[in-house]
Amino acid sequence: MGHRLAGLFHGRPRLQVSGLLAAPVGWLVIGYLGSLAILLIAAFWSVSPVSGELQKTLSFENFETLFNEPVYRTIVGRTVLIAALVTITDAILAFPIAFYMAKVASNRTKAILVIAVLVPLWSSYLVKVLSWRNMLGGGGLIDWALEPLGLSGPGYGNTAVWLVMSYLWLPFMILPIFAGLERIPNTLISASEDLGAKPFMTFRRVILPLAFPAVVAGSIFTFALTLGDYITPKLVSNNQFIGNVVYNNILSDNLPFAAALALVPIVIMVGYLLVARKLGAFEHI
């Protein structure tokens, strides 16, 4: 049997590649794309207001509720705004760190810094969020540090969500930018300096344009992760985000509305990925 299979694949590279990819592609189609298809179909179902039973008849009721109810437009807008702020914050914080790692640090220091960036990813997500919850709470570490200045911490709310998520997803922005900066030859930077360009001019005309696709690549992670998170908003804020509403509707057995709302971040990310692809971000993922 083994010899027959070997003879079947021998000298047929396309068949070999197809055999290797059959299992993962099959899992992707069935497990991921199949679940998305079911999600899309379920979004057009409804729940009977009288019996609470699931009605598998096509209806646009859930989408009409999403578009017509101001509360859901507010929730979607709040979620997208926080995701954008987290992405911008992480890009600003990550760029100098990644630049030092790629262009300034020695090989030994670079290795240490890469490990330092990765270490937070090894710890529990919940531990990090709960630690921030303790710091942000009344009488927490942030209040204690700001008390001599006559100030207080932000407490729980949108600002807390922004701070915590910026911390959580920062490594996902640093690593793509670091990889992108390492691809920039040092000779280009030296040539810019030799031609009389000042450091800021070199950064604006040489480094930033070449590293921008890497920044967009990092933004895919930070934006998508913030868009779909529901644990952090639940722990450090009383405001509702898309993930919280989806979770609450699942608990209340309103699966069709949860599916309809879950499609919103998917549609947003599809558009975001199309823009990122045009900007060359996929070369740095």
pLDDT tens digits, one per residue of 14-56:
666 666 777 777 777 777 777 888 888 888 888 877 777 778 8
- The whole-angstrom separation of Cα 215 and Cα 87 is 10
For the cut 90, the answer to whether the pLDDT of residue 198 exceeds it is no
Name residue 41's amino acid. Answer: I
- The whole-angstrom separation of Cα 192 and Cα 181 is 16
User: Which residues pair with residue 252 across a beta bridge?
Assistant: none
- Under the banding of pLDDT at 50, 70 and 90, the label for residue 166 is very high
- Alpha helix stretches (DSSP H) within 100-152: 107-122, 125-136, 141-146
Provide the CA 18 distance to its chain's centre, in angstroms: 31
Q: Is 121 helix (H, G, I), strand (E, B) or coil?
A: helix
- Beta strands 46-47 and 54-55, pairing class: antiparallel
pLDDT in tens, 113-133: 999 999 888 888 999 999 999
- Under the banding of pLDDT at 50, 70 and 90, the label for residue 243 is very high
pLDDT score for 194:
78
pLDDT in tens, 71-106: 999 999 999 999 999 999 999 999 999 999 999 999
Q: Please, what is the angle between helix 255-278 and helix 208-228, to 10°?
A: 180
Percent of residues in the chain assigned helix, strand, coil, to nearest 5: 80, 0, 20
- The whole-angstrom separation of Cα 203 and Cα 198 is 9
- Phi, psi of 54, deg, nearest 5: -75, 125
